[in-house]
Amino acid sequence: MKGMKKKLFMLFFGLMTVVSASAQFEQGKLYASAGLTNLDLHYNANTKWDLGLNAKVGYMFMDDWMLLAEGQWNLRQEAPNDFRLGAGLRYHIEQNGLYLGAGANYKHTEGYDDFLPNVNLGYTFFISRTVTIEPELYYDMSLKDFKNYSGLGLRIGFGIYLDELF
């Protein structure tokens, strides 16, 4: 009997988590995120050690669809630091917490500017009704020097989903 109560509680808790998570992907929600990117887990031919600070803001213009703006500053050991500004689009798959994204960033560093289209795959893990942890794999493709500046990386951020302010 004790095991049955525990299973029912876990089922109820899981159901409530799914219901509250899917409610966050409704039209009109605002989003803000800050995180670390690369964490020395980014690879391209030009850099070895790499750490970035990333900030994003977004708006759910339709259920499950978000427009994003982002800024990123990367610290590098063997190459000049860079700053990026970009925009993107994200689609949330409510059934499993995954999201798919695509966007583009303008990259500026000492004597070098580039345009980087990117794709990403992430997971939205709700730790409360509005706060998330979001691990994400991404791929940046350099249009200026594909071989040396395109790369795969990992980003981990904390997000906040808020009700519409207007």
So where are the chain's domains? 2-162
Can you give the pTM of this predicted structure?
0.79
Residue 136 has pLDDT above 90, yes or no: yes
Q: What pLDDT, in 10s, does the model give residues 87-124?
A: 999 999 988 999 999 999 999 988 889 999 999 999 99
Question: How far, in Å, CA of 82 to CA of 142, rounded?
Answer: 14
Residue 16 has pLDDT above 50, yes or no: no
2-162 topology per CATH: Porin (2.40.160)
Q: Which long-range contacts (CB under 8 A, 24 or more apart) does 43-46 make?
A: 43/151, 43/152, 43/153, 44/148, 44/149, 44/150, 44/151, 44/152, 45/147, 45/148, 45/149, 46/79, 46/148, 46/149
Beta bridge partners of 40: none
Tell me the C-alpha to C-alpha distance, in Å, between residue 110 and each of 75, 80, 152: 13, 7, 22
Q: Return the H-helix or E-strand segment holding 75.
A: strand 65-76
Report residue 106 CA to chain centroid gap.
17
Amino acid at 93: I
pLDDT value for 5 = 59
Counting residues of the chain whose pLDDT is more than 90, the rounded percentage is 56
Among the listed ranges 27-41, 128-142, 149-163, which one has the minimum average pLDDT value? 27-41
Residue 19 has pLDDT above 50, yes or no: no
Residue 107 CB burial class (10 angstroms; 0-12, 13-18, ≥19): buried
Residue 37 has pLDDT above 60, yes or no: yes
Residue 21 has pLDDT above 80, yes or no: no
Amino acid at 33: S
Q: Return the H-helix or E-strand segment holding 79.
A: none
pLDDT value for 149 = 78
